[in-house]
Amino acid sequence: MTTYYLDASALVKYYIPERGSEWIGSLLNERGLDGHWAGAAVTSLLSNVEGVCALERAVRSGHIDFSTRDVARRRLLLDMRYRFRVLGVDSHLALRAAGLAERYSLRAYDAVHLAAALTLTESLAQERLSACVLVSADEDLLSAAHAEKLAIANPNDYPAGV
């Protein structure tokens, strides 16, 4: 089973239509023959905040209406509670994120996502499992993750119909 760490830029594509949404949907909705999820979806608790903020921006920009926002927000919050494995942010992760932000000139939440994905990969390695794939539509975060030797995927590389 592949473990996917999704930042908010990737997660939001699951709830509102934009470039890469179909690919994210196929990734998150895929099930094995036994009916269980084919991949593990992991994110940070901060994706809750970022996701709601992204939905509000989508309303302000006219990309979605209030009804779509409300449905998307409910689905996001339910998935954060029941569907995704959600990693908390403690002082160790925050300090690691600060170092990554300095090294790669990342925005705060991007640094937290990178620190969380690296910590997750280390945890998976201890269990003798494959490293996670960091999924993001943010080029700066993807570049930093690549420099840290993480596997990466950009949903924007998979436009509709692919």
Task: Quote the pLDDT of residue 33.
Answer: 74
Q: How do residues 76-134 score in pLDDT, each as one tens digit?
A: 999 999 999 999 999 999 999 999 999 999 999 999 999 999 999 999 999 999 999 99
CATH number of 2-157: 3.40.50.1010
Helix (H) or strand (E) holding 151: strand 151-153
Can you tell me the distance from the alpha carbon of 106 to that of 111, in angstroms, rounded to the nearest whole number?
Answer: 6
**At which residue do the structure tokens 């409910």 appear?**
74
* pTM for the structure as a whole: 0.93
In the chain, where the domains are located: 2-157
What is the rounded average pLDDT for all residues in the chain? 94
Confidence of residue 38 (pLDDT cuts 50, 70, 90): low
Residue 7 CB neighbour total at 10 angstroms: 28
**At which residue do the structure tokens 């996670």 appear?**
132
- 3-state SS string over 11-50? HHHHHCCCCCHHHHHHHHHCECCCCCECEEEEEECHHHHH
Beta strand 39-44 pairing with 151-153: unpaired
Q: How do residues 119-162 score in pLDDT, each as one tens digit?
A: 999 999 999 999 999 999 999 999 999 999 999 999 999 876 54
Q: How far apart are the first and last CA of the chain?
A: 22
Buried b (16+ CB within 10 A) or exposed e, 72-93: beeebeebbeeebebbeeeeeb
More confident residue, 61 or 29: 61
Q: In what order do the strands lie in the sheet with 85-87?
A: 85-87, 39-44, 2-6, 133-135, 151-153
Would you call 68 exposed, middle or buried from its count of C-beta atoms within 10 A (0-12, 13-18, 19+)?
middle
